[in-house]
């Protein structure tokens, strides 16, 4: 099993201006309380998470609109480190068209405490190619699939219109390119536009699922 989830802590770097993780201790054993009890505050986009269309489309559904099977099953990891963007050609060369779930590594290293702003985004033609090949889920180790300064969120909208969940902020540094089985179940935050995910990869065929 390869854990491809980024750790969540008070040092995890959020998107600039977004809400970092804060832990407030309501009770604590060190203060003489009988148990330790904490409350947490953080952005739903901090660390590894899935975007719902409500994040980027006014009429988009929230997390309740996703069916769980999209997050479990065969997946392919593609290495795109060094590419300026994830184009249709990059995806084709990585054999993305033959997998129902595609995860793309774009970063040479992952440092949870450091926000990376110059990540390779998903190109519009790449997004169209994913939809055309029938992919059910797309994931990246970048903080977004669109450029940081994007105003129209083109790649998000293309995938969202086709009903694809978008996984962001993965850690694929220990996952060589190839075929796997993915488990990436999001928290059941019904009204939210995104949700944290614990994502792992298993050897291909471990789950005995076809799609």
pLDDT of residue 210: 74
pLDDT of residue 211: 81
Q: Name the active-site residue from 28, 55, 61, 64.
A: 55
pLDDT of residue 112: 95
DSSP β-bridge partners for residue 25: 38
Residues 6+ apart with CB under 8 A from 46: 8, 12, 14, 18, 19, 20, 21, 169, 196
CA nearest neighbour of 6 among 202, 210, 209, 198: 198
Helices 124-132 + 154-161 axis angle, to 10: 10
pLDDT tens for the chain, residues 1 to 211: 999 999 999 999 999 999 999 999 999 999 999 999 999 999 999 999 999 999 999 999 999 999 999 999 999 999 999 999 999 999 999 999 999 999 999 999 999 999 999 999 999 999 999 999 999 999 999 999 999 999 999 999 999 999 999 999 999 999 999 999 999 999 999 999 999 999 999 999 999 877 8
The alpha carbons of the chain give a radius of gyration, in whole angstroms, of 17
pLDDT of residue 209: 78
- Determine if the pTM surpasses 0.85: yes
Q: Which long-range contacts (CB under 8 A, 24 or more apart) does 145-149 make?
A: 145/121, 146/121, 146/122, 147/121, 148/117, 148/119
Rounded CA gap, 208 and 186, in Å?
21
pLDDT of residue 181: 98
**What is the DSSP secondary-structure string of 89-113?**
HHHHHTTGGG-SEEEEE--S---TT
Residues 6+ apart with CB under 8 A from 96: 76, 78, 102, 129, 130, 133, 135
Domains detected in the chain: 2-203 (3.50.30.50)
pLDDT of residue 208: 82
Known active-site residue 55: yes
């Amino acid at each position: 099993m390869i854990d491809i989830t980024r750790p969540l802590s008070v040092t995890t770097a959020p998107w600039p201006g977004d809400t970092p993780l804060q832990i407030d201790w309501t009770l604590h054993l060190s203060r003489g309380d009988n148990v330790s009890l904490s409350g947490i505050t953080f952005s739903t986009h901090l660390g590894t998470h899935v975007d719902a269309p409500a994040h980027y489309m006014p009429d988009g559904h929230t997390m309740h609109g996703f069916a769980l099977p999209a997050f479990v099953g065969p997946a392919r990891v593609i290495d795109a480190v060094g590419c300026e963007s994830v184009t249709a050609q990059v995806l084709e060369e990585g054999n993305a068209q033959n997998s129902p779930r595609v995860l793309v590594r774009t970063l040479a290293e992952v440092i949870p405490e450091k926000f990376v702003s110059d990540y390779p985004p998903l190109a519009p033609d790449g997004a169209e190619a994913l939809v055309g090949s029938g992919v059910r889920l797309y994931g990246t180790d970048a903080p977004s699939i669109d450029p940081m300064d994007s105003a129209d969120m083109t790649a998000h909208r293309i995938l969202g219109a086709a009903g694809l969940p978008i996984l962001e902020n993965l850690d694929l540094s220990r996952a060589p390119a190839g075929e796997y089985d993915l488990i990436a179940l999001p928290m059941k935050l019904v009204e939210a536009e995104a949700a944290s995910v614990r994502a792992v990869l298993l050897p291909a065929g471990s789950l005995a699922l076809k799609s």
